Amino acid sequence: MSPVQGIRTPRGVLYRIGRLPDPGAFPPWHVQGHGRFDDPQREFRVLYAAAQRRGAFIETLARFRPLVAALARLEEVVGADESLPRGTVPSHWYQRHAVVRLRVRPGQRWLDLRAPPTREALRTELAATLLTFGFSDLDLGHVLGPAQALTQAISRWAHQHGYAGLAYSSRLDAKLTLWALFEGAAFEPIGEPDPITPEDPDLAATARLYGLLV
């Protein structure tokens, strides 16, 4: 079996967009289970962060894009020559959220899902799980894709094997590295959270990328 590959504790800060008054806190238990790497048995919580500040916006604002099904229906109605409606970032969203910087303490184990050796090892470790979920293989597409039952099973495996969390690529931009921090991982916020305003450069750039109104 190929060895599972780890990754060093990030030396720089991680960025998270969270809800005020404590954007760096773990989400409440009642919302656990819906994230890509949440524990399927809800025995530990997961905090999501990005290695790049703009990456946090790219991940978070994607929810405000119009649904593909809605775009397809609208295109049939308005025709190709008409402009389609744009999504909107509501003011109450950025008024209720802030950007927090997190520093992760060294000396912890992190699983690197971006590394091919890790995926090859998990292909063996989770072979029965893959078949249960209807998959005949494990590749980068499965890790990045929408098969949440599988990614949550990977998260639980990592937690059970002593990892403090895992690093993975964004499904929206493969150049971005994201982190899932398991409850019990050692980290702390740095400074005060950054308020989010319409003039925030990363908010503005991401809104342009997605064609969103702010």
Query: Helix H segments across the chain?
Result: 53-61, 68-78, 91-96, 116-125, 127-132, 140-144, 148-160, 201-210
Query: What does the pLDDT read at residue 82?
Result: 60
Of 24, 3, 8, residue with least CA distance to 194:
24
Number of domains in the chain: 1
2: in domain: no
- Name the residue range of residue 68's domain: 14-210
pLDDT reading at 2 higher than 80: no
pLDDT reading at 7 higher than 90: no
48: in domain: yes
9: in domain: no
Query: What does the pLDDT read at residue 100?
Result: 98
Query: What does the pLDDT read at residue 79?
Result: 59
190: in domain: yes
pLDDT reading at 1 higher than 70: no
Of 125, 169, 107, residue with least CA distance to 143:
169
3-state secondary structure of 206: helix
3: in domain: no
7: in domain: no
118: in domain: yes
User: Rounded to two decimals, what is the model's pTM?
Assistant: 0.90
Q: What is the pLDDT of residues 148-191, one digit of tens each?
A: 999 999 999 999 999 999 999 999 998 999 999 999 999 999 99
